[in-house]
Amino acid sequence: MGFISPLFLGFVASLLGVFPPGLINMTAAKISVQDGKNRAMVFTLGALIIVFFQTLISLIFARYIDGHQEVVVLLREIGFAIFTLLTIYFLFLAKKPKKKKTNELKIKSKRSQFFLGMLISVLNFFPIPYYALVSVSLSSFQYFTFDTASIYSFVVGVVLGSFVVFYSYIAFFKKIESKTDFLTKNMNNVIGSITGIMAMLTLYHIIKYYFKL
């Protein structure tokens, strides 16, 4: 499959998964505001190390699933339900984000920020099922294969995409802080549209499998 295609797919998947304001990117932004960009980058480095291993584990798990057709069919059905629920949530329920009060985070040493990045990333279990589901879905559409080179290319793409998002929050948080709600609302519409398309494609493959179309 080559190196570029899975790299690009991993990059795009991470942008969609990480861009909405979350604990990691918002913490990185706050550290940047309070302690400077350098320390925020140290925090980001710690988070990215965990992201690398989480994504690798998710793809190894997904490769096992992809080799068992009955599990793939079951996962497609679960994926259809998840994509449908996500579409409903992002398009209809998440349009009015509430402003959350964030506690000030003051960490003096770079080492503390590095391990804080690792800790917060470890506590975030979303990447493992997310990238497993995305990779299996891409594989079912024949856009991705689970050979070793493609897996590592995808993982590198995810890390690069995550870095771009984290750095964007670090670099531009002061400018976009007052517009966070606006960005969240519109990003919800984008993500909801994408998950809606994924739900329809997944449903098509389910129907195709059962009716042997």
Q: Rounded to the nearest 5°, which phi and psi values hold at 57?
A: -60, -40
**Rounded CA separation 78/200 (Å):** 13
**Rounded CA separation 24/40 (Å):** 11
- Which stretches of the chain score pLDDT less than 70? 1, 69, 72, 94-110, 174-188, 190-191, 212-213
What was the pLDDT predicted at 152?
Answer: 95
- Name the residue with tokens 């959350």: 100
Q: Are 18 and 157 in contact (CB under 8 A)?
A: no
Task: Report residue 122 as tokens.
Answer: 């470890």
Compute CA distances 64 → 52, 60, 157, 182, whole Å. 19, 7, 21, 40
What was the pLDDT predicted at 107?
Answer: 46
- Terminal CA-to-CA distance of the chain, rounded, Å? 26
What was the pLDDT predicted at 65?
Answer: 79
CB-based contacts of 204, cutoff 8 Å, min separation 6: none
pLDDT digits (tens, 9 = 90+) for 64-95: 877 776 776 777 787 788 778 878 877 887 65
Alpha helices in 141-179 (DSSP H): 148-176
Q: Would the pTM count as exceeding 0.75? A: no
Alpha helices in 22-147 (DSSP H): 23-35, 37-66, 69-88, 110-123, 127-140
